[in-house]
Amino acid sequence: MIPNRPPVGGAYYPRDLLVHPPAYAPTYKTSILRSPQKARIGIDGSLSETTGPVFGHNILGELDNDMVLNYAAPGESAIGERTIVYGRVMDQDGRPVPNVLVEAWQANAGGRYRHKKDGYFAPLDPNFGGCGRTITREDGSYEFRTVRPGAYPWPNGVNDWRPAHIHFSVFGDGFAQRLITQMYFEGDPLIPLCPIAQTIPDKDALDRLIARYDPARTIPMDARAYHFDIVLRGRRATFFENRKEGL
């Protein structure tokens, strides 16, 4: 049941482009053709961008956030290092963002996606689908159980490998808050070598994409745990008669 709570008002903070990767990054070869050819144009957000969508727990299946089991045959489970990924979804002001849909997808333990265009030679795991979803609790918390994904080669340079990573999609309280990102694992030696990760100019911003190992949340003889918080755009203060918005 989704409790009644007052809607969060106000326009969203503008994006800080200094911490985001540039659209054109020649070392990340596919960005050359995908990058915009013209300058950005700033426009005010519309009502459809600052509100919705709303998701309910009735859209979830019992095992939607358990990628170890949600694609497995009865009595079977996915192959790989069992891993708990947990954290909170919050905005730039540190406020929790509850009741939002968090989707995750990843390669299997061998580094292969369950996708017909994935041509890597690693085998498919018949008991691993590679995707899951959950809805944040009132305190913004979420949790997935999965297997640690493997690294894989990709046709960017002669010998480029992607670090182990999990993709996340978060919808937030409004479409302008929508975030699609990737989570890396602490200690992975491939992170500083990855052309995609290295497009991020702010090294502190890159560090925020790295999940930290948390032995306190480890399940003995079962799964290791990694902590990863997700921060969405915040909203400016509500307008008051005696001061301008955001002051």
Amino acid 138: pLDDT: 95
Tokens of 1: 């049941």
Cα–Cα distance measured from residue 38 to residue 191, given in angstroms and rounded to the nearest whole number: 31
pLDDT of residue 39 exceeding 70, the answer is yes
User: Among 13-27, 122-136, 140-154, 209-223, whose mean pLDDT is lowest?
Assistant: 13-27
Mean pLDDT of the chain: 90
pLDDT of residue 1 exceeding 50, the answer is no
pLDDT-derived band at 153 (thresholds 50, 70, 90) equals very high
Candidates 88, 112, 162, 235; catalytic one: 162
Q: Higher pLDDT residue, 83 or 57?
A: 83
- Amino acid letter at 140? G
Please say if 113 is a catalytic residue: yes
Q: Residue 144, exposed/middle/buried by CB under 10 A (0-12, 13-18, 19+)?
A: buried
pLDDT of residue 243 exceeding 70, the answer is no
Host H or E run for residue 206: helix 203-207
pLDDT mean over 37-47: 82
pLDDT mean over 22-41: 91
Amino acid 239: pLDDT: 46
Q: What is the pTM of this model?
A: 0.89
Candidates 167, 208, 217, 236; catalytic one: 167
Candidates 133, 165, 233, 235; catalytic one: 165
Candidates 113, 142, 184, 226; catalytic one: 113
pLDDT mean over 15-44: 88
- Amino acid letter at 179? L
Tokens of 129: 């689908």
Please say if 227 is a catalytic residue: no
* Residue 103 C-alpha from the chain's centroid: 8
Amino acid 7: pLDDT: 55
Please say if 213 is a catalytic residue: no
Q: For Cα atoms 132, 100, 230, give the angle at the middle one, nearest 5 degrees.
A: 80
Full set of structural domains in the chain with CATH? 62-232 (2.60.130.10)
Candidates 152, 184, 226, 233; catalytic one: 152
Amino acid 11: pLDDT: 80
pLDDT of residue 191 exceeding 60, the answer is yes
Amino acid 5: pLDDT: 57
Please say if 233 is a catalytic residue: no
Please say if 148 is a catalytic residue: no
pLDDT-derived band at 4 (thresholds 50, 70, 90) equals low
Amino acid 115: pLDDT: 94
Amino acid 42: pLDDT: 78
